[in-house]
């Protein structure tokens, strides 16, 4: 076994690996960019080495710098986590050439499964069923369009070197194929440095079920059962669970056997995942699943497998990489209960899931749930990396019990300082079909409007926030001489739904009289908070960013400075602003152009994704102050449009 390991990653996965290393008595080395100099994973490690500036190409993708850091610190092995260099065969080979152990499969195994087209051909040879499609080398647009026609719409365009939903487009009709192909190529080239794609049949009512496999250098291979990752948005997983709902034993056995055949076909060693697309239009069948891809690394959602099997998969990785045989045989493994994982992101569900940035002024996770995180209160969510805040994991004896625990855990998770998807995740746990196990990859898209709906704060919420902002819960009000009635204090609050002036009158004995517009309430703050005698189902927390009420939905309030003259919230209807900091990838229009509602005007690249800026109405382009390749800040003007009649009048 090794005695020192370098973790070539950041965030929650770096912290997760370090936790197992500590448990096993192994020293750890962190690497970091300038943006992560004070990050949690750096603080957790025994040693830390700077890689370079914030951009990943200048830091976390610098394989040679990482190898040198391992050699300089005396680390014997490198754990790649997921993302970055975790599935880069050249990096794995360079580590081996330097006398270092790559905690993962061989470079040959990564290379064999790294390109989706080659992997599908290999799986066909191994007797693993694959989805019908074109996986060849010819990449001419017209040829691929003909292949799509032959396969039959709808089809899925997928980057051959892709993952995480990047470089992937669903095409329903032939007329949209060219535009979606161009978009997929562009995103794939940015994310993976390879614009090649494959085209395959899109399975109706698909479920995404994957099998966790493990192999060792002694020729052994096992599976640790399945995970259902069907709850997705834009091909990105949102909530995962293990085992899969309504999975017959015969289908589980067939999928597990196929996954083990796939692993053995390439002499696989280490942790890997075989992803299957499954026909979810009816009961699961032994002939109703097809190989999609293999991830030659540890998955983001591995904790649900750990929860139902009782195994530490990172410990398995370390033991296998050091030359030990697998800790368990297939017969030793079994499923215990049910587990869910929800990915908490800094993103605004109501605004199309745009990533959010900001400093985490408050962060707290509930007892009884596992929270894998790479951030702490006071840390910043920056535009440089994936905006994941944490993975919340729960386990129960049954699916219903585990889902109830997840709903409660999400409602008791507290994040302030940036917008999150917590309310969206909570709404999913209450969704009728998901609760019943009726889930496919299109569920979120079908019901997205209701899932992202936001409630405005009630008068009681304004009152509670005002009392917290005034600090009247911290100590008994001072008694003094007043005439006729207690002294009143006005607390001006802002919320994204609007502004409100709340009038407070301290009544003594831990009670406050609150007036919100024409409504009045009595708030009791001693021991247990109550509003008109009723305990609220949300919690008030004061922090550097203001006041937050946490519950099924989170509401953030800020104290308004009455001396400030705020800018008008009225933006011109044709003012297209950058929703976040990023790079202008492409500009499709020039001043004077006439456009129609819904036309793509520009593409902004931020947080590893492309975001299309579209025309809000039929009009004329009045101003384009940006150009392709330019960097923009949050709220920067990208394009200004005018109504055609206004343009003619001018």
Active site residues: 297
Q: Are strands 338-345 and 289-295 parallel, antiparallel or unpaired?
A: unpaired
Distance from C-alpha of 527 to C-alpha of 473, rounded to nearest angstrom:
9
Is residue 10 within 8 A of residue 374, CB to CB? The reply is yes
Is residue 541 within 8 A of residue 414, CB to CB? The reply is yes
- The closest alpha carbon to 425, from 297, 552, 573, belongs to 552
Distance from C-alpha of 180 to C-alpha of 61, rounded to nearest angstrom:
28
- The closest alpha carbon to 33, from 49, 45, 18, belongs to 49
Secondary structure element (H or E) that encloses residue 394, with its range: strand 388-396
Give one word for 595, left, alpha or beta, with left for phi > 0 and alpha for psi -120 to 50.
Answer: beta
Number of H helices, E strands in the chain: 17, 39
- The closest alpha carbon to 104, from 75, 80, 70, 69, belongs to 80
Neighbouring residues of 391: CB distance < 8 A, sequence distance ≥ 6: 12, 300, 301, 303, 341, 342, 343, 344, 371, 372, 373
What size, in residues, is the chain?
Answer: 650
Is residue 357 within 8 A of residue 580, CB to CB? The reply is yes
Distance from C-alpha of 185 to C-alpha of 335, rounded to nearest angstrom:
41
The upper half-sphere exposure of residue 632, i.e. CA atoms within 13 Å in the direction of its Cβ, equals 28
Neighbouring residues of 389: CB distance < 8 A, sequence distance ≥ 6: 344, 345, 346, 360, 363, 373, 375, 381, 415, 420
Distance from C-alpha of 54 to C-alpha of 32, rounded to nearest angstrom:
9
Is residue 296 within 8 A of residue 87, CB to CB? The reply is yes
Q: Are strands 498-508 and 488-495 parallel, antiparallel or unpaired?
A: antiparallel
Distance from C-alpha of 51 to C-alpha of 455, rounded to nearest angstrom:
44
Is residue 502 within 8 A of residue 494, CB to CB? The reply is no
Look-up of token digits 């009544």 = 507
Is residue 208 within 8 A of residue 313, CB to CB? The reply is no
Is residue 401 within 8 A of residue 456, CB to CB? The reply is no
Is residue 233 within 8 A of residue 445, CB to CB? The reply is yes
Is residue 266 within 8 A of residue 252, CB to CB? The reply is no
Q: Which two tokens stand for residue 174?
A: 């032939």
Distance from C-alpha of 418 to C-alpha of 362, rounded to nearest angstrom:
10
Distance from C-alpha of 280 to C-alpha of 290, rounded to nearest angstrom:
12
Residue 157 backbone dihedrals phi, psi, to 5 degrees? -90, 130
Q: Which two tokens stand for residue 332?
A: 């030793």
- Give the CA diameter of the chain: 91
Is residue 435 within 8 A of residue 406, CB to CB? The reply is no
Would you call the peptide bond into 154 cis, given omega within 30 degrees of 0 as the criterion?
Answer: yes
Quote the strand ranges of 251-346, DSSP E: 270-279, 289-295, 338-345
């Amino acid at each position: 076994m090794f005695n020192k390991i370098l973790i070539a990653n950041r965030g929650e996965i770096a912290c997760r690996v370090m936790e197992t290393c500590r448990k096993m008595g192994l020293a750890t080395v962190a690497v970091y960019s300038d943006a992560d100099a004070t990050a949690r994973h750096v603080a957790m490690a025994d040693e830390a080495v700077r890689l370079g500036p914030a951009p990943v190409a200048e830091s976390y993708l610098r394989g040679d710098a990482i190898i040198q850091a391992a050699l300089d610190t005396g680390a014997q092995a490198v754990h790649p986590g997921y993302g970055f260099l975790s599935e880069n065969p050249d990096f794995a080979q360079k580590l081996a050439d330097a006398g270092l152990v790559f905690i993962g499969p061989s470079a040959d195994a990564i290379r064999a499964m790294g390109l989706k087209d080659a992997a599908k051909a290999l799986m066909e040879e191994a007797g693993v069923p694959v989805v019908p499609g074109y996986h060849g080398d010819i990449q001419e647009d017209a040829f691929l369009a003909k292949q799509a026609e032959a396969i039959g719409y709808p089809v899925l365009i997928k980057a051959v070197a892709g993952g995480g939903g990047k470089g992937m487009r669903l095409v329903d009709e032939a007329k949209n194929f060219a535009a979606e192909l161009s978009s997929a190529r562009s995103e794939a080239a940015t994310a993976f440095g390879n614009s090649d794609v494959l085209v395959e049949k899109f399975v109706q009512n698909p479920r995404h079920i994957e099998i966790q496999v493990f192999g060792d250098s002694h020729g052994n291979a096992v599976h640790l059962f399945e995970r259902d990752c069907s709850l997705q948005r834009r091909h990105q997983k949102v909530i995962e669970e293990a085992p899969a709902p309504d999975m017959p034993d015969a289908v589980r056995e067939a999928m597990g056997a196929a996954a083990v055949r796939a692993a053995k076909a390439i002499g696989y060693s280490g942790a890997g995942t075989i992803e299957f697309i499954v026909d979810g239009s009816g009961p699961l069948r032994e002939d109703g699943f097809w190989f999609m891809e293999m991830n030659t690394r540890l998955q983001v959602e591995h904790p649900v497998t750990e929860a139902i099997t009782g195994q530490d998969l990172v410990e398995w990785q370390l033991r296998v990489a050091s030359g030990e045989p697998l800790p368990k045989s297939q017969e030793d493994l079994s499923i215990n209960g049910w587990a869910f994982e929800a990915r908490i992101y800094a993103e605004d569900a109501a605004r199309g899931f745009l990533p959010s940035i900001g400093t985490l002024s408050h962060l707290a996770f509930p007892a009884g749930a596992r929270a894998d995180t790479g951030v702490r209160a006071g840390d910043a969510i920056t535009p440089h990396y994936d905006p994941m805040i944490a993975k919340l994991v729960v386990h129960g004896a049954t699916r219903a019990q585990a889902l109830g625990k997840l709903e409660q855990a999400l409602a008791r998770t507290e994040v302030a300082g940036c917008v999150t998807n917590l309310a969206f995740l909570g709404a999913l746990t209450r969704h009728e079909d998901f609760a019943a196990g009726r889930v496919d990859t299109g569920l979120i898209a079908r019901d997205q409007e209701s899932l992202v709906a936001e409630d405005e704060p009630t008068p009681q919420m304004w009152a509670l926030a005002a009392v917290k902002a005034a600090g009247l819960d911290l100590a008994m009000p001072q008694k003094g001489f007043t005439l006729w009635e207690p002294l009143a204090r006005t607390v001006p609050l802002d919320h994204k739904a609007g502004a409100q002036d709340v009038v407070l009158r301290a009544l003594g004995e831990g009670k406050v009289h609150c007036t919100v517009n024409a409504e009045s309430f009595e708030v009791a703050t001693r021991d247990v908070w109550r509003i008109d005698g009723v305990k609220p189902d949300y919690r008030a927390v004061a922090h550097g960013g203001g006041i937050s009420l946490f519950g099924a939905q989170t509401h953030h309030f800020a104290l308004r400075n009455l001396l400030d003259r705020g800018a008008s919230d009225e933006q011109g209807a044709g003012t297209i602003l950058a929703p976040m900091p990023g790079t202008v990838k492409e500009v499709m229009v020039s001043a004077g152009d006439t456009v129609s509602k819904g036309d793509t005007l520009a593409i902004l690249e931020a947080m590893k994704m492309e975001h299309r800026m579209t025309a809000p109405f039929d009009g004329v382009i009045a101003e384009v102050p940006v150009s392709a390749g330019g960097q923009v800040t949050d709220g920067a003007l990208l394009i200004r449009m005018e109504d055609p009649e206004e343009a003619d009048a001018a």
